Structure 1
Amino acid sequence: MTDQQRNARYALAILFGINLMNFFDRQIAGALGEPIRIEFGLNDTQLGLLATVFTLVYAAVGVPLGWVTDNWLRTRLIAVGVTVWSVLTAASGLAWNYTSFLLTRIGVGIGEASCAPASQSLIGDLYPPERRARAMAIFMLGLPLGLFAAYMLSGVIGQAWGWRAAFMVACVPGLILAVLALFIKEPPRGAVEARTSLALPVSPYRLVMRIKTMWWIVLSGLLYNFSVYAMNVFQTPFLQRFHALGLKDANTLSAVSLGLTGIVGLWVGGWLGDRLHMTRPNGRVLVGAVALLLAAPCVFLALQQPKGGVVMFTALMATSTALSFAYYSTVYTAIQDVVPPNVRGTAVSLYFFAMYVLGASFGSTIMGALSDYFAHHAMLAAGAAEMAESFRATGLHNAMYVIPALLLLCSGSLFAASRTIAADMKAMSSGHAVACA
């Protein structure tokens, strides 16, 4: 094994661990949403706003950090970012009211904004195109495993020692990974491309925006992440309210149905994406489009389950997650296929900015506002004068039906991307995209 191969494997292992902690620290607030809501006296709109503010800051900071990714040592940027978000995750456990908790989550968002552009840019320079989807799938395994660990540990720790302790525990592994990231050897940009275009364009942002496929991918990202962030914030509260589960049991089911089964989708999606890509340029995005088309009815049927029907609910949500996680290993790799190596950090940061600002950031707040609206309507329909938990359960249940509709729209945008990606890949490989800038 060459030094380059050893470095690539070491880097991928560390980046996987960092991505796992990225989603672990991000999801703790969702896993512990009910005890946080009760302690601080919040409604669902305020609970959703925690994720909205986090996401908006994450997106805004990510754009300049994308430029930094293309112009500075990516390993050092990652190490600094991991340190910042790990320390501030621990600080979240010291919050004394809603405002102080919100401020610490903003700090976590600033730190985490360094992870995706720099990590995906490194993977693009460490692995050749024919192996990139599988490498990206390994990196993105941090997402389902991070969600799984966040739900499982938060449920156990939160029930045993209170919700604040879970935030403290999350700090230590992040700091260790930050140090290990400094030992990754920085690869040359475009090192594994058959043809590289390393002359900087006049405007990297303009270059990325000229790629038609990126517009469809961005649209798919905002639709997909709207639904995913809404579900991640509210599924555990939904199981507690509608199906009357305790904190630990609700988080255990969420850990399996929203986290663990995603591993199947990442691996199978990455493998199928690479296989189909060998015979047709649009193979990867087609795999993602079909997977989401099948995921939508699973969510709808899960929400149709009666109170107490948690086994079938979990099975259907797990199936939906397994299918929809193919999005990450196929669509994220498609970005690498159509964007020149020297602006991939910029491309990923723009993609994240658009999908988070226009999609994910509104998912949790709009879901919370819909939940409050339907809860209020249920209260009025019952002739009650005060809000009861049963009305909150009904409100959240009704609001969650927006998710399968969004998954169908996301599938449609990926089918549209499959019609433009071949031409954009040809332009990138020939260097035409850089010339046009």
Structure 2
Amino acid sequence: MDTPSPTPVVRSESGSSDSEPRPVSGRYAWSVFALAFGLMLTDFIDRQIIVATFPLLKSEWGLSDTQLGALVSAVAVTVAIGALPFALVADRWSRTKCIALMGTVWSLAAMACAVAGSYTQMLAARAAIGLGEAGYGPAGGALTAGLFPQRRRATMVGALQAAGPLGVVLGVSLGGLMVPSLGWRLTLAVFAAPGLILALLFLRVREGRAPGAAPAAAPGESPARERGAVAELFRSRTAVAAYLGGATQLVVLSTLYTWLPSYLTRTHGYTSARAGAVTAVAVIASAAGTVVLGYAADRAAAVRARRKLTLPAGLALLALTLLTSAFAWVPAGPLQLGLIVAGAFTVAAAVGPVPAVVMDVVDPKVRATALGMVTLIQNLFGLAVGPLLTGWLSDALGIADALALMPLFCAVAAAALWTASRSYERELRVEGGSDAPLPAAL
């Protein structure tokens, strides 16, 4: 789609379009957001639908829980490996073209999963999905951040990230319904095509910025050398602590997404469809938490900036209490399921604020690179750890004990987020990249 920008495109003397992103209308910003949301939705369907096939893969290939968990963790590992390099490319080349390319790669890899002839081939195809996803998150997040004003950034980034849980819902619930009748191969193949179509549509998107926002360096200008850009990402104490807090919170969230269906089928005797439906409710709750609690963090920060981090820190401790109680002490029944759903809602509290805070304290020229670092750390030390560690604990202790232990990571997340809040107000940048800090009370 073409940009309905109120500012005409400026052309250089050579006749080429000026590469500086221009102010865009709110309507266009929302249309690009909708496209980015849809692509991330298909991303997480492709990523998570494998969970619905666990019982058949375990039976057909004789896999352990550790091997099953590795099929999920492999995606997170390759996302982590590719996130920063692809983010650097996005900041210097074109965020929209990176999104189109990455979406095409992971959609083709998802199709390869459907025709895998062995566990090794499946693991390699799953890793390729992660390689494609690695460039999408940073580029998509930076593109979205530039289209909306700073005061709404945590809300919009959280809303974009909510496509992840919703994709998980569709992957788990639809997968649970389709696998018994279609088999795991056809089920995996069905969802590859929509991602490919949406990825190609991004070739028609033009980058822009929110009206009134100061221009940042456009992709292709190479405003900072790679070494300096990476150093900038670790210069901020706030960013470093936020990286850790966001990652450890995702250890718990990824555990729920991956192993709750297996827990319900093994310990409660649920069918795959019913387990998928219950898990879908928990995932929807986490998606709601991503948006609602991201908005709450923005509102809290309007009174005192550091509350953008202290609020999710407190909610991490609440999630620890809810989930530990559910899996360790409360017997099976409605109360247990209610605690799991409430825990899923609160454990998502940091999903929106963490990347928003990181973008608030780094140079605007390296925002996509900063999101690449967020993606790297959250995937390598969060999303990759949860499924694999839980699978290992399940093989050793049983799945119920494994799920009772994993919420302890919420305590680490709370400590890291509180630490980040102590320096956030001092390091906070005003829109446009000024080094002058904002006042503590906004």
Q: Which residue of 2 aligns with 1:240?
A: 265
Q: Which residue of 1 aligns with 2:294?
A: 270
Q: Which residue of 1 aligns with 2:424?
A: 421
How many residue pairs get matched?
A: 410
Asked if structure 2 preserves the Cα contact closer than 8 Å seen for 1:273 and 1:330, the reply is: yes
Q: Which residue of 1 aligns with 2:99?
A: 78
Q: Residues of 2 paired with 1:361 and 1:319: CA distance?
A: 23
Give the TM-score of the pair, scaled to structure 2: 0.87
Instruction: Say which of 249, 261, 268 aligns to 1:224.
Output: 249
Is 1:288–2:292 an aligned residue pair?
Answer: no
Q: Residues of 1 paired with 2:212 and 2:119: CA distance?
A: 48
Is 1:312–2:313 an aligned residue pair?
Answer: no
Is 1:408–2:411 an aligned residue pair?
Answer: yes
Q: Which residue of 1 aligns with 2:19?
A: none
Q: CA deviation at 1:54?
A: 2.1
Q: CA deviation at 1:325?
A: 1.8
Measured against aligned partners, the alpha-carbon deviations of 1:221-243 in whole angstroms (never above 9, x if no partner) come to: 22122222222221111111111
Asked if structure 1 preserves the Cα contact closer than 8 Å seen for 2:111 and 2:192, the reply is: yes
Q: CA deviation at 1:310?
A: 4.3
SS state at 2:116 partner? coil
Asked if structure 2 preserves the Cα contact closer than 8 Å seen for 1:76 and 1:181, the reply is: yes
Q: Which residue of 1 aligns with 2:321?
A: 297
Q: Which residue of 2 aligns with 1:391?
A: none
Q: Which residue of 1 aligns with 2:64?
A: 43
Is 1:279–2:303 an aligned residue pair?
Answer: yes
Is 1:362–2:399 an aligned residue pair?
Answer: no
Q: Which runs of 5+ in 2 are unaligned?
A: 7-23, 438-442
Aligned-partner residue type, residue 232 of structure 1: Y
Q: CA deviation at 1:216?
A: 0.5
Query: Greater shift after overlay, 408-417 or 203-212?
Result: 408-417
Q: From the superposition, tell whether residues 358 and 328 of structure 1 become closer, same or farther in structure 2 (CA, over 3 Å).
A: closer
Q: Residues of 2 paired with 1:400 and 1:90: CA distance?
A: 31
Query: Greater shift after overlay, 117-126 or 50-59?
Result: 50-59
Is 1:88–2:109 an aligned residue pair?
Answer: yes
Q: Residues of 2 paired with 1:141 and 1:68: CA distance?
A: 25
Aligned-partner residue type, residue 35 of structure 2: I
SS state at 1:281 partner? coil
Is 1:430–2:395 an aligned residue pair?
Answer: no
SS state at 1:175 partner? helix
User: 1:72-221, aligned counterparts within 5 Å?
Assistant: 72-187=93-208, 193-194=213-214, 200-202=223-225, 203-221=228-246
Is 1:333–2:381 an aligned residue pair?
Answer: no
Q: CA deviation at 1:217?
A: 0.9
Measured against aligned partners, the alpha-carbon deviations of 1:276-297 in whole angstroms (never above 9, x if no partner) come to: 2222111211221122121111
Q: CA deviation at 1:53?
A: 2.3
Q: Residues of 1 paired with 2:375 and 2:122: CA distance?
A: 24
Asked if structure 2 preserves the Cα contact closer than 8 Å seen for 1:152 and 1:255, the reply is: yes
Q: From the superposition, tell whether residues 315 and 82 of structure 1 become closer, same or farther in structure 2 (CA, over 3 Å).
A: same
Q: From the superposition, tell whether residues 2 and 73 of structure 1 become closer, same or farther in structure 2 (CA, over 3 Å).
A: closer
Measured against aligned partners, the alpha-carbon deviations of 1:106-154 in whole angstroms (never above 9, x if no partner) come to: 1111111111100111012111101222222321220221111111110
Q: From the superposition, tell whether residues 322 and 149 of structure 1 become closer, same or farther in structure 2 (CA, over 3 Å).
A: same
Q: Residues of 2 paired with 1:195 and 1:421: CA distance?
A: 23
Is 1:254–2:275 an aligned residue pair?
Answer: no
Measured against aligned partners, the alpha-carbon deviations of 1:191-222 in whole angstroms (never above 9, x if no partner) come to: 75458578823410011110111111111122
Aligned-partner residue type, residue 341 of structure 2: A
Q: Which residue of 2 aligns with 1:380?
A: none
Superposed CA RMSD in Å reads 2.2
Aligned-partner residue type, residue 312 of structure 2: G
Q: Which residue of 1 aligns with 2:375?
A: 352
SS state at 1:113 partner? helix
Q: Residues of 1 paired with 2:41 and 2:215: CA distance?
A: 32
Q: CA deviation at 1:174?
A: 0.7
Give the TM-score of the pair, scaled to structure 1: 0.88
Query: Greater shift after overlay, 424-433 or 140-149?
Result: 424-433
Asked if structure 2 preserves the Cα contact closer than 8 Å seen for 1:197 and 1:431, the reply is: no
Asked if structure 2 preserves the Cα contact closer than 8 Å seen for 1:299 and 1:404, the reply is: yes
Aligned-partner residue type, residue 86 of structure 2: L
Q: Which residue of 2 aligns with 1:379?
A: none
Asked if structure 1 preserves the Cα contact closer than 8 Å seen for 2:250 and 2:386, the reply is: yes
Q: Residues of 2 paired with 1:153 and 1:268: CA distance?
A: 25
Q: Residues of 1 paired with 2:172 and 2:181: CA distance?
A: 14
Aligned-partner residue type, residue 345 of structure 2: A
Q: Residues of 2 paired with 1:337 and 1:195: CA distance?
A: 15
Is 1:7–2:34 an aligned residue pair?
Answer: no
Asked if structure 1 preserves the Cα contact closer than 8 Å seen for 2:170 and 2:280, the reply is: yes
Q: Residues of 1 paired with 2:63 and 2:272: CA distance?
A: 17
Asked if structure 1 preserves the Cα contact closer than 8 Å seen for 2:250 and 2:378, the reply is: yes
Aligned-partner residue type, residue 422 of structure 1: E
SS state at 1:328 partner? coil
Q: From the superposition, tell whether residues 316 and 27 of structure 1 become closer, same or farther in structure 2 (CA, over 3 Å).
A: same
Q: From the superposition, tell whether residues 2 and 64 of structure 1 become closer, same or farther in structure 2 (CA, over 3 Å).
A: closer
Q: Residues of 2 paired with 1:235 and 1:284: CA distance?
A: 30
Instruction: Say which of 42, 51, 68 aligns to 2:89.
Output: 68
Q: Residues of 1 paired with 2:198 and 2:180: CA distance?
A: 28
Measured against aligned partners, the alpha-carbon deviations of 1:316-374 in whole angstroms (never above 9, x if no partner) come to: 11111111222112222112211221101111112222232233322222211111112
